[in-house]
Amino acid sequence: QSALTQPRSVSGSPEQSVTISCTGTISNVGDWDYVSWYQQKPGKAPKVIIYDVSKRPSGVPDRFSGSKSGNTASLTISGLQAEDEADYFCCSYGGSYTFVFGTGTKVTVL
């Protein structure tokens, strides 16, 4: 049950695109198309922004997109906005009601 690997931080200027990787194993990311991404702002509960690798819940801006290749999932924020500054966590289902989260990435808008 080792955490999925994410970069500690990424940054970009407004309107730029940034991509966050999330690397797991054949037992989690590589085996299931149930990768989700969560945005967390200070003092708040996480909020899902992507699920099933690439689906967006209602109300999430379309500048957020997700993809997966092999054991690595990715979240891309296209057209970075100031309000996107937050911590982002990936999560993969691992079978039998188990889950594993990523190590988390701090996104800074320059």
Partner 1 sequence: EVQLVESGGGLQQAGGSLRLSCEASGFTFSNLGMSWVRQAPGKGLEWVSSISGDGRSTDHADSVKGRFTISRDNSRNTVYLQMNSLRAEDTAVYYCAKAGLYDVNGYFSWLFDSWGQGALVTVSS
Residues near partner 1 (CB under 8 A) are: 1, 3, 32, 34, 36, 38, 40, 45-48, 51-52, 55, 57, 87, 89, 91, 93, 96-104
Nearest distance from C-beta of residue 59 to partner 1, angstroms: 12
Nearer to partner 1, 14 or 57 (CB): 57
CB 90 within 8 A of CB 35: yes
Please work out, in degrees rounded to the nearest 5, the angle formed at the alpha carbon of residue 70 by the alpha carbons of 17 and 21: 30
Nearer to partner 1, 77 or 100 (CB): 100
Nearest distance from C-beta of residue 103 to partner 1, angstroms: 6
Nearer to partner 1, 17 or 98 (CB): 98
Question: φ and ψ at 84, to 5 degrees?
Answer: -85, -5
What is the C-alpha to C-alpha distance for residues 5 and 90, in angstroms, rounded to an integer? 9
Nearest distance from C-beta of residue 45 to partner 1, angstroms: 4
Nearer to partner 1, 14 or 55 (CB): 55
Nearest alpha-carbon partner for 49 in 35, 33, 60: 60
Q: Which two tokens stand for residue 96?
A: 């039998």
Nearest distance from C-beta of residue 46 to partner 1, angstroms: 6
* Conformational region of residue 19, where left means phi above 0, alpha means psi within -120 to 50, and beta covers everything else: beta
